Structure formats: C-alpha cells, structure tokens
C-alpha cells in the first residue's frame, strides 16, 4: 500500500474505531461485534507498525478506551489500570512466551512461569481497602482516571465489606453478569417490551455505571478479583501466590487459573479453556497469559497502553449454517411485537439453537432475511444467538418475504409503528399480553392512585385468575385480597377502601390511566377540562382535537385511534358499570370558573415548604394557568423555592417575574 493510501486508511480506521469504542465503553451500546472491532484494530495496528510516522495520538492503539461519565466523581488510580495487548493466533502466543523466557534468562531469572486465566467479559473495577475495610471502588475509565462507583459496588454481594485481615490493599477485578442471569434478565426485558441487552459485558457496565443506584440493585451483578494492584506490609513474590492470598482474604477470585512453565503448557491451557468456555457460568472473550514472577513484571514494565507482562488470546467466534424455517411474532408486556426466527436446530458454542430474535422490522430489511433462507448463526458475546448473514447463493426462489402483522397476533387489535420508532406495537387495551403492564400503569400514583395495589400483588392476582382485565380491579372482594397474605385482614380492608376511593377520581386521572399513546398527565388535564366527560372525548373529531391547545395532530390521531378500538369501548362500559367516575368534578373547593391564571405560564424550581411541585402545578392548572418545565421569554412567573438552580439564573437574565412561596400563597387565596 502506498503511503498516501495508508494515511487515508489510518484516518478512516481511527475515526471508525473511536466511534465504536465510544459506543462500547462510554454508551454501553455496541454497534458491531467484538470480533469485527478487533479486526479493525488489528488492521490499524499493522498499518501503524509499517508507517510509525503516521500514528495519530487519538488512535485507540495509543491509549485506553473509556472516559468518566458525567455525574460521577473522578478517581485517580494510584496504579494505572491498563488494557491488554490482544493476540489472535497461537503462533503469536509462542512468539510472546519465548520472548519473555529469553528476557528472563537475560535478567538471570530461572524457571519463569506463567499463569493462564479466563478473560472475563465484564467491566474492570478497582477496590480499595483500609485496615481491611472497603472504602472506595472505581471503574477503569481511561486507565488513569475512573469513576467513583463505591455505593453501586456495595450492592454486589460477592464484594466483601470487611476482609479477614486488617490490610491496606488495592485490588483489580471484573464486574460481570453470569450467563444464566443474563439470559433470564433479557427474557424478562423482552416480555416487558424493553430493549434487550446486546451482550452481558455491556449489560454489566451499564448496570454498574448507573447514577440511580436503585437500578444497579436490581441487576444480578457479580465480580471476580484477579490482581493485587498495591499492598502494604506484606511481601508477595508470585501472581499465583497472590491469587491464593486474595481468596484467603475473602475475595471471589477468578476460578480458572492454570500455572504453566513451558510454551506447550501455555498452549494446552489456552486449548483447555477454549474447550471449557461453553460450560462456564460466566462469559469470556479470551484467555489471559500472565508472567507469574511479580519482580520480573516490574523489570518488563509497560507501554503507554499495555503491560508487557501479559497478553490476551482472543478466540474466534464459532459460526454455523442452518435453515430459517419460519418467523413468528411475540407480543411483550408493553405491546411491542418482536419477530422471532424459528430455525432448524444447530449446535453453536456448546448450545442447541432453535430460535433467535430478529429484533424488529428494520433488522429484517437490513439483513434481507426471508423465510426459507439459509443463514449463518453465531453467539454474540458467547451468549445471545444471532443471525450474522444470509447465504443468498443458496436461495432457490421459494423463499418468502416477511411482513410485520397489521393486527396483534394475540388479541387482533390494530398494530401501529410510530414515526421515528423501530417497534411495532399492539394498540388493544385489553390485550392479554399487555395486561400486566396496563394494570401497573392504571393503578399507579399519577393515574388512578390505588394505594397498596403494587406490581407484586398484581402478579399474584393475575396468576390466580382473579384479574383478567382492568375492570376486574373493581370486582375484587375482601376475601380475594385477604387470601393472598397471612393475617391479611387489615391490608384487605385498606385496599378495598383505596379501590372504592379511586372510583371518585377526577376525569383527568382516568384519561391518564387508560395509557393512550402520547397522552400523559398534562395532556389528560387539558382534555378533561375541554371535553368534560369520557363520552365526549371518545366522540371528538380529529380536527376538534388537533385544534385543542397543547394537543396537536399526532396526539389527536392517537386519541381517535384509541377510542375507535372495540376493546376500548368495551373497557369504558365495564368501568362505568363498576361505578368509576367518567366526568369532570369540582376541584377541591376551587371554582372552575375562576380563571385567574388564564394565559399565564409558570415554571417551578427548588423545594417548596407548603406543597410538592406536583401539588403547586395542580393548583396553577385549576386556576387556568399552564406549567412549563423550562424558562423562556414566554414565561410569566418563576415560582422559586429553596435551593433554586439554573432556572432562577435564567429567569433573572430574561427579566422574568420571580415569585417566593409566600407571594404565591397570596395569589391563590
């Protein structure tokens, strides 16, 4: 390749790998497989070796991938958390081991050993202990500065909060999600209509790097510790000895660690791990070859990116051909319809694959998949089976195109695909597949606000066939509820009272509870105020709705489509029969004719003493005003409580009238 061509290709590869690395390390949403990314990096590295004067400082061959996510505190690593040099052939492994042995001889080190371990497919973490107590944990970040995720790491049960010895130590480990837990989690996400994770590594990374710790707590994170970064007051000379000591301290260490002395031993260990990878309970993306002698490691040192004392052997992904027999559709709990490929069973990476998700309509079009095609299957991240490509050369002409259904395969309701979305959804409110999610939304605080009727209880009621549609909530008896809990008499009484109370809710809550696409609480209040009853709203014309302030054509179409469904009409009649209010009510003593805030726009910021922000917003809207989330030139008032932030600054800049809470109280007397 000419130097000018090499320069152009290096620039392309730097741009591509930087983009894919950001999606992988920072966004936790990879767009290509690990193998495809590795091959791009190999090409880039080879070109840089041939033309070292063309090396770009931005190249990922020159630094560690990853950055610090906004919202986390920065942690400077006392010992850098560098990445590993990847190797893709056993010939390169032989070359590396022999080179290390030669350097050992030159430094008068006899019997140089290696430890071969599994390369766990997860997110690197550093754990710091003072006097044996866990004090801080962080991600790798860029290798030198990471994110402080101490509280998130404390949710992982296999991270000891207290060690068996009072030692000052920093260790390195890999946070991951086990194979079984990952499959179960993805299955639940698919049933709920949520986007499934591409692989276990990114699921683990995304889970650990959550600003909301409650999300991290729900994820089945685990960890294996595999290196001592720094230790005080104890002399350890070998890596294998270090692993044994880590286990003694109470750490969950890498379970696969093979001590080797020769090139043949190293090759055999890599081969052994390759054979066992399908039986492991955690995902791996290679085998790591490490120098055992810790003093020799110091002599070998590091490059700018990689330690010279270890390399990673990457196994090629196993691929198999099979026949795509049919494409069927599953309906998730949110109504998302997911196409599923039915395959002639084939063994891939130790598992029998007979079906795999096709994600959505766009995926099928991009891959040009037809029913009857011969397809190539591989496991993404050694876990999820996926169709890599179609063998178009093997088409016979009898293959059939697939079209997403225009009616729900479960309930027969119309399906829709919103502009800008990849998902096709069922619109039926009584669809059995959507019932759980519809119920959870219907009883939620912002909707009918039925206290005590949470997700667990709904699940129990559904499993006992006590609820088969939304309206069945109002047919529940005291005995039905009491039977679900030990000593459930008081609970049943409270829940029955809460259900009865919800019948008297104002109309906007019912509109919100129906879960009409694009219609939230704010729009529900606008609709309730204008149309006065559910019947009037159901009969409203498209143009009448589209001309309504803050509704517009997209919401209008969604409302018309929703109320034209036979299932919607059936549910409304059932709710009326149960005694649920379907009309606007007088609002808490405020005269509905009082429009004192008409045409006025409020923005709320900071903490209020006498109200929650939601309560203040309700009062403003009941007086005819509007509540916006951001300050603009159109804003009439900024209601500022304690600890008001950037909105207060912007309001002052624009000259917006700023109200204290006491001034607001005077206005609503």
By annotation, the residues acting in catalysis are 119
**Dihedral (Cα; 471, 472, 476, 480), 10-degree rounding:** -160
Q: How far apart are CA 658 and CA 47, in angstroms?
A: 61
Sequence length of the chain is 669
Opening angle at CA 523, ends 518 and 527, nearest 5: 120
Pairing state of beta strands 310-313 and 85-87? Answer: parallel
Phi, psi of 121 (to 5 degrees): -90, 90
Query: Quick one: tokens of 415?
Result: 């399906």
**CB neighbours of residue 667 within 10 Å:** 14
378 near 346, Cβ under 8 Å? no
In terms of Cβ atoms closer than 10 Å to its own Cβ (0-12, 13-18, 19+), residue 230 is: middle
What is the CA 428 to chain-centroid distance, rounded? 27
User: How many angstroms separate the Cα of 234 from the Cα of each of 2, 79, 168, 179, 427?
Assistant: 55, 17, 10, 36, 65
Contact predicate 325/344, CB 8 Å: yes
Which helix (H) or strand (E) is 617 found in, with range?
helix 613-622
SS (H, E, C) 450-477: CCCCCHHHHHHHHHCCCCCCHHHHHHCC
SS3 351: strand
CA-based nearest residue to 516, from 483, 492, 540: 540
């Amino acid at each position: 390749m000419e130097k000018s061509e090499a320069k152009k290709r290096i620039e392309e590869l730097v741009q591509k790998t930087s983009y894919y690395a950001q999606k992988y390390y920072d966004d936790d949403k990879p767009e290509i497989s690990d193998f495809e990314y590795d091959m791009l990096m190999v090409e880039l590295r080879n070109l840089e070796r041939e033309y070292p004067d063309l090396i770009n400082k931005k190249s990922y061959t020159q630094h560690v991938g990853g950055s610090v996510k906004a919202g986390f505190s920065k942690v400077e690593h006392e010992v850098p958390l560098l990445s590993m040099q990847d190797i893709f052939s056993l010939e390169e492994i032989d070359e590396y081991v022999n080179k290390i042995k030669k350097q050992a001889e030159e430094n008068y080190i006899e019997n140089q050993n290696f430890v071969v371990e599994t390369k766990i497919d997860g997110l690197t973490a550093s754990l710091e202990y003072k006097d044996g107590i866990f004090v801080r944990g962080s991600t790798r970040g860029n290798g030198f500065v990471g994110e402080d995720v101490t509280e998130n790491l404390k949710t992982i049960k296999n991270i000891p909060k207290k060690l068996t010895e009072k030692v000052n130590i920093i260790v390195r480990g890999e946070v991951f999600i086990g194979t079984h837990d990952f499959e179960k989690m993805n299955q639940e996400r698919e049933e709920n209509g949520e986007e499934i994770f591409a692989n276990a590594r990114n699921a683990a990374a995304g889970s650990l790097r959550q600003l909301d710790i409650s999300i991290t707590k729900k994820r089945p994170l685990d960890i294996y510790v595999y290196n001592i970064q720094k230790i005080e007051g104890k002399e350890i000379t070998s890596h294998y000895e270090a692993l044994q000591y880590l286990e003694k301290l109470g750490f969950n260490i890498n379970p696969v660690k093979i001590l080797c002395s020769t090139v043949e031993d190293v090759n055999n260990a890599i081969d052994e791990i390759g054979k066992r990878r399908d039986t492991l309970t955690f995902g791996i993306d290679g085998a790591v070859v490490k120098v055992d002698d810790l003093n020799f490691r110091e002599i070998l040192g590091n490059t700018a990116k990689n330690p010279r004392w270890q390399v990673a052997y990457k196994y090629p992904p196993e691929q198999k051909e099979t026949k795509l027999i049919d494409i069927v559709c599953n309906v998730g709990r949110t109504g998302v319809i997911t196409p599923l490929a039915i395959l002639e069973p084939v063994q891939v990476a130790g598992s029998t694959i007979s079906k795999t998700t096709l994600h959505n309509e766009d995926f099928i079009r991009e891959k040009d998949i037809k029913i009857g095609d011969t397809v190539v299957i591989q496991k993404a991240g050694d876990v999820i089976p996926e169709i890599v490509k179609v063998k178009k050369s093997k088409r016979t002409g009898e293959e059939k195109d697939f079209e997403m259904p225009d009616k729900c395969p479960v309930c027969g309701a119309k399906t829709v695909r919103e502009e800008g979305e990849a998902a096709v959804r069922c619109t039926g409110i009584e669809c059995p597949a959507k019932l759980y999610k519809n119920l959870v939304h219907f009883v939620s605080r912002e909707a009918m606000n039925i206290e005590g009727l949470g997700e667990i209880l709904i699940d129990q009621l559904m499993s006992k066939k006590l609820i088969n549609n939304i309206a069945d909530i109002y047919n529940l008896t005291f005995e039905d509820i009491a039977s679900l809990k030990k000593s459930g008499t008081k609970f049943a009484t409270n829940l029955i009272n809460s259900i009865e109370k919800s019948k008297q809710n104002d109309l906007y809550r019912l509109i919100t509870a129906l879960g009409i696409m694009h219609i939230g609480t704010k729009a529900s209040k606008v609709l309730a105020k204008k149309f006065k009853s559910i019947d009037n709203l159901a009969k409203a014309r498209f143009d009448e709705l589209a001309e309504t302030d803050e509704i517009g054509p997209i919401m209008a179409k969604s409302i018309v489509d929703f109320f034209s469904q036979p299932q919607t009409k059936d549910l409304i009649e059932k709710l009326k029969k149960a005694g649920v209010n379907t009309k606007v009510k007088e609002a808490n003593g405020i005269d509905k004719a009082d429009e004192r805030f008409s045409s006025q726009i409020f923005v709320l910021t900071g903490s209020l003493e006498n109200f929650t922000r939601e309560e203040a917003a309700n009062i403003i809207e009941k007086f005819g005003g509007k509540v916006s989330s951001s300050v603009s030139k159109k804003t009439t008032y900024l209601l500022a409580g304690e600890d008001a932030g950037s909105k207060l600054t912007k309001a002052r800049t624009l000259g917006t009238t700023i109200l204290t809470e006491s001034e607001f109280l005077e206005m609503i007397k």
